[in-house]
């Protein structure tokens, strides 16, 4: 996405000096909405100059002025946001009309990211469900991990493994984007979250900063990892470890250097680690539609996200698991508030509002002379942290293709399992969850075009130019999935149609000439065949036939001479001949007329003359 620019004013009761809405122009490098009628956006700024400068993201450094209305204090970017939503809805409507798979992609994006819920009939709770205590946090299990570990006996990366050297080589990329978390899981004895958390906290020296006992930390992260379901294809500890490591890299971006406090960094990493704990492998809407206990407990509002928070904090109360035991009361309260804000922001139905907030921040940002963001207020910092964890949660398409494809296979497997459950229950199958009709390639292209790329491009504007390589990888991956979409037969372009028609016309013309010549030859053959048949009927051989033809020709000459002498008789004969030709087809006349009959007719005409 590009920078927000002014468009023609729209009627408003608000007396702000900057009336009107805003329209989002296309990116100079890429936009999923290019090339479609109705998706073109105005790139010209208003004459009044709502903003200064222009061009690339590197040049966009001057914030908008008069951004908020003095009367109602509402941001004027609300006009741009309405415009963007209308444009997105138009694009999704067009996508849904293209094909059945396109309709599924459109429905998935609308119901998942736009907070549009379909009306469904919720079943009544069973007697067993009525008897369950609502105060109990489900999913918390009693687990025991060794608490006898000390600094002297602690494994190098917090987990016991026979592949420590191979794990060390993989963790050399701990601070890089695109770490292969699948290899980390393989070499860490299937403990990717515990290993990544331990490595990051050691890298950032957080254990020492907040006086977290090493054995307590290891016990907690292993207990936390055990509460991720290994039989869930996507939302498991692998995904949690990937989001945590991605958050760690984003926190280290140069544009955010020294912006966040140590407590805020601790909260962001903790939030990323717990953000999907005890995920059952189905969506919020599935839990609502099935009248689940979780949906009832959290009143259908961010059901899973609230549950992840409850489990994550509840595990701190387990034996030797309180990693925040040495924080002050005020620090614990601040951390809890930060973590709740960030985990609730991972609810995908809040995606559009998060994107709008991030866009507002991009247009009003202030940077130091060294290019570092100035986030003086808490509200600004928590807003960036919310979007940071959200970006990390939607970072699969920005990773190297071989890693991204593995994530795609996992999420589609999880979707299809939910679709099977819905089919067994006789429910309407959720978008992209029907394994018989879903198009994996189209789903990923639509996911990138309408969700991932707008988010990451706005983040790239915020931290420019730190995210350029991430955006390049994202666009390459999008192009790859686009190229793998099965192509259905389509009509050629108009220019090719004309050339093809010319070729067809030439071919048909040549074919017509050949057919006409063949028809002429065929007519001559028909004549000969008819004469042969007549001769067979009169028992004449070929020699007699030639003699008869010569006699016939001589007789016709004599007839012509006699007819010239008597013009009146000749005119009558011609009129009779013309009427006969009109009434009978020429071909039948050739077949039905024999030389003998012609001879008899000509002799009778001569006698009449």
* Predicted confidence (pLDDT) per residue in 527-567, tens digit: 444 444 444 444 445 455 555 555 555 555 555 554 555 56
**Separation CA 70–CA 57 (nearest Å):** 29
What pLDDT digit, counting tens, does each position of 565-575 carry? 556 566 666 66
Q: What is the pTM of this model?
A: 0.65
With contact defined as beta carbons under 8 Å apart, do 264 and 256 qualify? no
Q: Which residues pair with 5 in a beta bridge?
A: 23
pLDDT band at residue 488, thresholds of 50, 70 and 90? low
Question: Is residue 265 classed as helix, strand or coil in its secondary structure?
Answer: helix
| Model pLDDT for residues 194-216, shown as the tens digit of each residue | 999 999 999 999 999 999 999 99
pLDDT of residue 502: 55
Query: pLDDT over 90 for what percent of the chain?
Result: 52
pLDDT digits (tens, 9 = 90+) for 223-269: 999 999 999 999 999 999 999 999 999 999 999 999 999 999 999 99
* Residue 436 designated active-site: no
Kindly indicate the confidence band of residue 449, based on its pLDDT and cuts at 50, 70 and 90: very high
Predicted pLDDT of residue 199? 97
Report whether 537 contacts 577 (CB < 8 A). no
Partnered with residue 6 across adjacent β-strands are 22
| pLDDT higher than threshold 80 for residue 428 | yes
Residue 440: pLDDT band (50, 70, 90) is very high
* Catalytic position from the list 235, 248, 307, 464: 235
Please report which confidence band the pLDDT of residue 20 belongs to, taking 50, 70 and 90 as the band edges.
very low
Provide φ and ψ at 5, rounded to 5°: -130, 160
pLDDT at position 8 over 50:
no
The stretches of 163-261 forming alpha helices (DSSP H) are: 164-170, 181-187, 192-203, 206-209, 214-226, 237-251
pLDDT of residue 412 exceeding 90: yes
User: In this predicted model, which residue has the larger pLDDT, 1 or 279?
Assistant: 279
Neighbours of 48 (CB within 10 A): 12
The answer to whether 187 and 167 are in contact (CB under 8 A) is yes
Mean pLDDT calculated for residue range 128-148: 58
CA distances from 71 to 14, 75, 157, 413 (A): 7, 11, 57, 52
- Distance of alpha carbon 513 from alpha carbon 520, whole angstroms: 11
Task: Report the alpha-carbon distance of residue 69 to residue 173 in Å, rounded.
Answer: 47
In whole angstroms, what is the distance from residue 275 CA to residue 282 CA? 15
405 forms beta bridges with none
More confidently predicted of 49 and 569: 569
């Amino acid at each position: 996405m590009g920078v927000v620019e002014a468009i023609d004013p729209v009627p408003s009761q608000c007396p702000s000096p900057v009336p009107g809405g805003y329209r989002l122009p296309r990116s100079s490098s890429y936009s999923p909405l290019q090339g479609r009628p109705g998706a073109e956006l105005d790139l010209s700024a208003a004459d009044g100059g709502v903003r200064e400068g222009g061009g690339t993201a590197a040049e966009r450094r001057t914030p908008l002025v008069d951004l908020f209305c003095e009367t109602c204090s509402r941001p004027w970017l609300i006009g741009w946001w309405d415009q963007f939503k209308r444009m997105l809805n138009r694009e999704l409507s067009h996508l849904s009309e293209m094909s059945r798979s396109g309709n599924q992609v459109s429905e998935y994006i609308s119901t998942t990211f736009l907070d549009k819920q379909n009306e469904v009939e919720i079943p009544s709770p069973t007697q067993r469900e009525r008897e369950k205590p609502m105060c109990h946090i489900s999913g918390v299990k009693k687990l025991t991990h060794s608490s006898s570990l000390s600094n002297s006996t602690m494994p190098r990366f917090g987990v016991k493994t026979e592949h420590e050297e191979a794990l060390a080589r993989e963790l050399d990329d701990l601070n890089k984007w695109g770490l292969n978390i699948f290899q980390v899981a393989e070499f860490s004895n299937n403990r990717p979250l515990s290993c990544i958390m331990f490595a990051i906290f050691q890298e950032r020296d957080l254990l020492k900063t907040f006086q977290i006992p090493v054995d307590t930390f290891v016990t907690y992260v292993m207990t936390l990892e055990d509460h991720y379901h290994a039989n869930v294809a996507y939302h498991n500890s692998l995904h949690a470890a990937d989001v945590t490591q991605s958050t760690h890299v984003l926190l280290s971006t140069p544009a955010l250097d020294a912006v966040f406090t140590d407590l805020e960094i601790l909260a962001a990493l903790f939030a990323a680690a717990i953000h999907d704990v005890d995920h059952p492998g189905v969506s919020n809407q599935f839990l609502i539609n099935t009248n689940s206990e979780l949906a009832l407990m959290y009143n259908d509002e961010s059901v899973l996200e609230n549950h992840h928070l409850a489990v994550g904090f509840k595990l701190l109360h387990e034996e030797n698991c309180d990693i925040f035991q040495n924080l002050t009361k005020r620090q614990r309260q601040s951390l809890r508030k930060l973590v709740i804000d960030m985990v609730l922001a991972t609810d995908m139905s809040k995606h559009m509002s998060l994107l709008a907030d991030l866009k507002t921040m991009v247009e009003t940002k202030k940077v130091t002379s060294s290019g570092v963001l100035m986030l003086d207020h808490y509200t600004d910092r928590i807003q960036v942290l919310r979007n940071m964890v959200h970006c990390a949660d939607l970072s699969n398409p920005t990773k190297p293709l071989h890693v991204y494809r593995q994530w795609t296979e996992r999420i589609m497997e999880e979707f299809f399992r939910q679709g099977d459950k819905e089919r067994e229950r006789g429910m309407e199958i959720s978008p992209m969850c029907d394994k018989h009709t879903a198009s994996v390639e189209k789903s990923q292209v639509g996911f990138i075009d309408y969700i991932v790329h707008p988010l990451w491009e706005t983040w790239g504007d915020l931290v420019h130019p730190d995210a350029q390589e991430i955006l390049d990888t994202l666009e390459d991956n999008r192009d790859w999935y686009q190229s793998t979409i099965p192509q259905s037969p389509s009509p050629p372009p108009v220019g090719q149609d004309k050339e093809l028609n010319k070729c067809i016309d030439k071919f048909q013309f040549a074919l017509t000439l050949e057919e006409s010549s063949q028809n002429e030859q065929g007519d001559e053959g028909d004549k000969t065949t008819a004469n042969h048949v007549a001769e067979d009927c009169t028992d004449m051989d070929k020699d007699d036939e030639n003699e008869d033809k010569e006699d016939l020709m001589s007789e016709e000459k004599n007839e012509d001479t006699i007819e010239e002498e008597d013009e009146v008789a000749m005119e009558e004969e011609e009129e009779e001949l013309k009427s006969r030709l009109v009434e009978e087809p020429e071909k039948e006349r050739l077949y039905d007329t024999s030389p003998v009959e012609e001879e008899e007719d000509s002799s009778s005409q001569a006698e009449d003359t």
